[in-house]
Amino acid sequence: MKIIQLFNRRRFSGGEDRIVDIIENLLKKKGEQICTIRRSLDELGEGFCAKIKAFIFGIYSQASYRYIKRLINVESPEIIHVHNLYPQLTLSVLSACRDAGVPVVKHCHDHSLSCPITNHYRDKKICFMCQGGKEYWCVLKNCRKDIFESVAYATRSAIVRNLDSFRKNITLYIAISDYIKDYIIAQGYPQERIVTLPNPIYKMPSTRADVSSGGYVAYVGRLTYEKGIKTLLDTAKMLPNLPFRIAGNGLLMHEVIKEAPNNVVFLGNLDYAKLANFYRRARFLVVPSLSMEPFGLVAIEAMSHGLPVIASNIGGLPEVVDEGITGFLFEPDNSEQLASNIELLWNNIDLCNQMGWAGRKKALHEYSEDVYYKRLIAIYKKAIQTNLT
């Protein structure tokens, strides 16, 4: 099968970047023909001029339309797989695909269909004020903490909604969890055109880690407030005798390093090999998110190594972590409950091993590359059969 994948990278990399890479590498390994077009916000440079360019060209780019139209003519793809399109690719690429008669699948990684800043999280709390065509709240509340950016994001979101470009030009929507599928349906998109496809694990470990020798409580992710990093630090202060290790970077890096107790060590961003080693030396993983996580990629990565996971009971995380089986769920921002779960697992090696085995079994059965490949190809074939054009 011949596929074109389109992705506009955001300023900070995350799970979406990894999924784009996984899809490209997996399809190539399986013998499919895939061409991935990547654009990056970094291409626009820094400062106010970059913001002006992003605003002007960030809704509908004729240059992107022409480029994708030419690419389709040269490559003759059977399917176009789109991820984030802003600010360089824009909605114009959907028009190019429609005009060329090529079906499109849209990978929904977040809440961008109703939230201008994509995560329904503002001022340290969940927010739905922009839903229902009220994007002006993004400006009034200055959700980006930069009034120019808030205006740009709100304007783009409102135009996309009013043009209804996704509904008109997307053949099928890929939801990364049933939670995201329900969210898409709630925005008025047709249920029959939405398919759940949980994220996969890149390079499933051949063996399971020995959690009984794990030497620390692990965290992997961005260091931002909505990821719950401060909740984790508050918990670490309650458990001064337990070691915590933090892998990741983010806007709060310098702030949280200053606030962290002595039993917390920050390791920064880790490449694939170092991250795998990080998981295998841990006792278990904590995912303390405060915002509505669409899925939980780090959770399944940890499970693939045989680690239990303690996660916030929010968003798509309860679909990944089975309470009392592969780990524990706790109420978001409840440091006391999190501390209790951490102590229970740390002091009960048998339970830790049992949950680790259950997590590994689930990872092999539901999140392997082979399972993902079969489901993804089935989605492509369905989109080709039900093309809107």
202: pLDDT strictly greater than 90: no
pLDDT tens-digit series, residues 363-373: 999 999 999 99
Q: Which residue has the higher pLDDT, 311 or 11?
A: 311
CATH superfamily of 2-200+369-385: Glycogen Phosphorylase B; (3.40.50.2000)
Burial of 387 (C-beta count, 10 Å sphere; 0-12/13-18/19+): middle
Residue appearing with tokens 């590498």: 25
Closest C-alpha to 169, from 89, 75, 101? 101
Q: Out of 3.20.20.80, 3.50.30.10, 3.40.50.300, 3.40.50.2000, which CATH number does the structure's domain 211-366 have?
A: 3.40.50.2000
Q: Assign 87 a pLDDT band (cuts: 50, 70, 90).
A: confident
Say if pTM beats, i.e. exceeds, 0.85: yes
d(CA 186, CA 165): 17
Domains 2-200+369-385 and 211-366 share a fold: yes
How would DSSP label each residue in 286-326?
EE--SS--S--HHHHHHHHTT--EEEESSTTHHHHS-BTTT
Token couple for 38: 């990547």
pLDDT tens-digit series, residues 146-200: 898 899 899 989 988 888 888 899 999 999 999 999 999 999 999 999 999 999 9
Q: Assign 42 a pLDDT band (cuts: 50, 70, 90).
A: low
Phi/psi at 210 (5° precision): -90, 95
Residue appearing with tokens 């690419």: 71
Lowest mean pLDDT among 20-24, 50-54, 73-77, 99-103: 50-54
Q: Which value, in Å, is the radius of gyration of the alpha carbons in the chain?
A: 21
Cα angle for residues 273, 275, 280 (degrees, 5° grid): 100
382: pLDDT strictly greater than 60: yes
Predicted local distance difference test score (pLDDT) of residue 317: 98
What is the helix (H) or strand (E) element at residue 344, kind and residue range?
helix 335-346
Write down the domain spans for the chain: 2-200+369-385, 211-366
Cβ atoms of 68 and 96 closer than 8 Å: yes
Those residues with Cβ within 8 angstroms of residue 55's Cβ, 6 or more apart along the chain or in another chain:
87, 148, 152, 155
d(CA 2, CA 10): 26
Q: Average model confidence (pLDDT) for the chain?
A: 93
Burial of 37 (C-beta count, 10 Å sphere; 0-12/13-18/19+): middle
Closest C-alpha to 282, from 260, 295, 298, 258? 298
d(CA 357, CA 303): 8
Predicted local distance difference test score (pLDDT) of residue 381: 96
Q: How is the beta sheet containing 79-82 ordered, strand by strand? A: 33-40, 2-9, 79-82, 104-108, 172-175, 194-196
Cβ atoms of 3 and 79 closer than 8 Å: yes
Other CB atoms within 10 A of residue 364 CB? 17
